[in-house]
Amino acid sequence: MDLAAKSELVEQVRAFVDWVGAGRKLTQTGRITMTDARVLVPLLGTGDVIDPAIGDRVYRTGSSQDLLHLTLIVEWAKAASLVRKTGQRLVPVKKNAALLNDMPKLWLALFTVFEQAGDALLHSGFGESLLRQEFATGIRAVLISLYRADSAVTTASLCTTVWTVTAAPYDLDQATEFQLQHLRGVNDRDTKRAFEALRQLGAVTIENDAVKLTELGQFGIRRILGEPEPGDPVYQVKITLIGLEVWRRVLVPANIRLDRLHRVIQNTMGWENAHLHAFSDGQTHYGVPDPELQHHDERATNLNDLVKPGGRLLYTYDFGDSWDHEIRIEEATVAESDVHYPRCVEGKGACPPEDSGGLPGYEQLVQILTDPGHEEHQDMLDWLGLDSRDQFDPAHFDLGEVNRQLT
385: exposed, middle or buried (C-beta count within 10 Å: 0-12, 13-18, 19+)?
Answer: exposed
Q: Given this model, what pLDDT does residue 290 score? A: 82
Please report, rounded to a whole number, the percentage of residues in the chain having pLDDT higher than 70: 99
pLDDT of residue 354 exceeding 70, the answer is yes
pLDDT of residue 102 exceeding 60, the answer is yes
Long-range contacts of 383-388 (CB under 8 A, 24+ apart): 384/353
CA distances to 145, 225, 227, 251, 262 from 336, in Å: 20, 16, 11, 11, 23
Residue type, 379: D
The residue ranges of DSSP E strands in 13-135, in sequence order, are 24-25, 53-54, 57-58, 83-86, 89-92
pLDDT of residue 1 exceeding 70, the answer is no
Residue 128 DSSP label: -
pLDDT of residue 85 exceeding 70, the answer is yes
Confidence of residue 120 (pLDDT cuts 50, 70, 90): confident
Helix (H) or strand (E) holding 156: helix 155-167
Please report, rounded to a whole number, the percentage of residues in the chain having pLDDT higher than 90: 81
pLDDT of residue 330 exceeding 90, the answer is yes
pLDDT of residue 56 exceeding 70, the answer is yes
Q: Does domain 233-351 have CATH number 3.10.290.30?
A: yes
Residue 117, phi then psi, degrees to nearest 5 = -95, 5
Q: Given this model, what pLDDT does residue 326 score? A: 98
Confidence of residue 391 (pLDDT cuts 50, 70, 90): confident
Residues 6+ apart with CB under 8 A from 378: none
Residue 319 DSSP label: T
Q: Given this model, what pLDDT does residue 3 score? A: 57
The residue ranges of DSSP E strands in 63-150, in sequence order, are 83-86, 89-92
pLDDT of residue 271 exceeding 70, the answer is yes
Q: pLDDT for 210-227, tens place per residue?
A: 999 999 999 999 888 888
Residues 6+ apart with CB under 8 A from 160: none
Helix ranges (H only) for 168-308 are: 177-201, 215-225, 258-269, 303-306
pLDDT of residue 127 exceeding 90, the answer is no
Q: Given this model, what pLDDT does residue 6 score? A: 73
Residue 404 DSSP label: H
Domain assignments of the chain as residue spans, ordered by start: 2-112, 130-223, 233-351
Q: Given this model, what pLDDT does residue 67 score? A: 93
pLDDT of residue 49 exceeding 70, the answer is yes
CA distances to 59, 164, 171, 212, 403 from 158, in Å: 35, 10, 22, 11, 20
Q: Given this model, what pLDDT does residue 12 score? A: 95
* pTM beyond 0.85: no
Helix ranges (H only) for 21-87 are: 34-44, 68-79
Long-range contacts of 31-40 (CB under 8 A, 24+ apart): 31/63, 31/64, 31/65, 32/64, 32/70, 32/74, 32/90, 33/64, 34/61, 34/62, 34/63, 34/64, 36/64, 37/61, 37/64, 37/67, 37/70, 40/16, 40/70
Contact 207/152 with Cβ under 8 angstroms? yes
Q: For domain 130-223, which CATH number applies: 1.10.10.10, 3.90.1170.50, 1.25.40.10, 3.30.1300.10?
A: 1.10.10.10
